[in-house]
């Protein structure tokens, strides 16, 4: 089974995220990076599936040159090979541009299953996996808390408010795993050494057949108009109970239409 994992490499959790006021983009250059913990769970799930059913795991990531550290981490965990889309022309891509780039890179290799995380830990839009599935023409199976494969059939336990729904499909398919699906393994020394010899293919948008008007800032249909801090929370209302505290709370809840 050939599995492709889409994994983002993001500013490390120790970094305080800054937004450039001119470009309104996250400042990514010059800060330490790491494999998104959500992506590490997607990698872990792919590795467990291939350990059980055989096959390969390829990581696909779009990111700046600093993303190499996260790619090496995935390779050290046991991923077979990696694709890095590294190109100034893709900077400023919106979610659809990102999905077009990732889908084009996935199509360059045989795949039975694509695994994404439900949402990234830096931008959290949660839109990209569905867009990739649409572009690849495969069913999106989202919020998976467990993946079961038998032959060419796949089933997921799809997290719901009351428990889970069982969702089935034939392969190929795309699964977006929910956070907490597993505890990703730490790379061991053997894996770290082996990772140094593993291949990282580097592609530009042009290599993927994507013209400039489809990707990057030029191709972006979403525009960030303004970025700001949320307004400070107002101080709460203090109710001093002098015998009518309960009534005052009930009146307050009625006033704000909670009851």
Ligand X SMILES: Cc1cc2nc3c(=O)[nH]c(=O)nc-3n(C[C@H](O)[C@H](O)[C@H](O)COP(=O)(O)OP(=O)(O)OC[C@H]3O[C@@H](n4cnc5c(N)ncnc54)[C@H](O)[C@@H]3O)c2cc1C
CA distance 145 to 181: 5
Size of interface with ligand X, in residues (CB under 6 A): 34
**The two three-digit tokens of residue 221, written as one number:** 């249909």
Determine, following the binding rule CB under 6 A, whether residue 37 of this chain makes contact with ligand X.
no
Query: How many C-beta atoms surround the C-beta of residue 122 within 10 A?
Result: 16
CA distances from 87 to 62, 103, 166, 242 (A): 9, 16, 40, 67
Please name the helix (run of DSSP H) or strand (run of DSSP E) that holds residue 158, with its range, or none.
Answer: strand 153-159
Site string for ligand X, 53-82 (x = CB under 6 A): -------xxxx-------------------
- Least separation in angstroms between residue 139's CB and ligand X is 16
**Residue from 3, 35, 39, 74 binding ligand X (CB under 6 A):** 39
98 in contact with ligand X (CB under 6 A): yes
Can you tell me which of 13, 32, 65, 124 binds ligand X, judged by CB under 6 A?
124
The torsion region of residue 122 among left (phi > 0), alpha (psi -120 to 50) and beta comes to alpha
Work out whether 187 is an interface residue with ligand X (CB under 6 A). Answer: no
Residue 93 touching ligand X (CB under 6 A)? yes
> Which stretch, 5-13, 71-79, 150-158, 189-197, contacts ligand X (CB under 6 A)?
5-13
Chain mean position to CA 109 = 20
Which CA distances in Å does 55 have to 4, 95, 107, 122, 233?
A: 11, 30, 17, 30, 52
The stretch near ligand X (CB under 6 A) out of 70-78, 88-96, 196-204, 241-249 is 88-96
- By CB under 6 A, the residues from 199 to 228 that bind ligand X are 220, 222-224
Q: Which residues bind ligand X (CB under 6 A)?
A: 6-8, 25, 28, 38-39, 42, 60-63, 91-95, 98, 102, 116-117, 119-120, 123-129, 220, 222-224
């Amino acid at each position: 089974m050939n599995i492709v994992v889409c994994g983002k490499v993001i500013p490390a959790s120790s970094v305080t995220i800054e937004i450039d006021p001119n470009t309104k983009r996250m400042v990514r250059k010059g800060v330490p990076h790491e494999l998104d913990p959500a992506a590490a769970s997607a990698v872990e799930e792919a590795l467990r599936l291939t350990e059980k059913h055989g096959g390969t795991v390829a990581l696909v990531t779009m990111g700046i040159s600093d993303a190499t550290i996260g790619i090496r981490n995935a390779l050290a965990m046991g991923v077979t090979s990696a694709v890095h889309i590294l190109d100034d022309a893709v900077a400023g891509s919106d979610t659809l541009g990102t999905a077009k780039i990732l889908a084009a890179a996935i199509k360059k290799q045989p795949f039975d299953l694509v695994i994404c995380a439900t949402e990234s830990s830096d931008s959290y839009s949660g839109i990209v996996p569905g867009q990739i599935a649409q572009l690849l023409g495969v069913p999106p199976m989202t919020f998976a808390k467990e993946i079961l494969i038998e032959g060419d059939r796949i089933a997921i336990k799809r997290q719901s408010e009351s428990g889970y729904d069982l969702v089935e499909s034939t392969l190929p398919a795309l699964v977006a795993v929910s956070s907490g699906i597993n505890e990703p393994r730490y790379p061991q020394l053997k894996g770290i050494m082996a990772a140094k010899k593993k291949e990282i293919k580097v592609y530009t948008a042009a290599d993927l057949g994507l013209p400039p008007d489809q990707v990057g800032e030029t191709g972006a249909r979403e525009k960030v108009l303004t970025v700001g801090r949320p307004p400070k929370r107002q101080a709460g209302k203090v109710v001093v109970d002098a015998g009518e505290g309960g009534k005052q709370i009930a009146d307050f809840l009625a006033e704000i239409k909670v009851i």
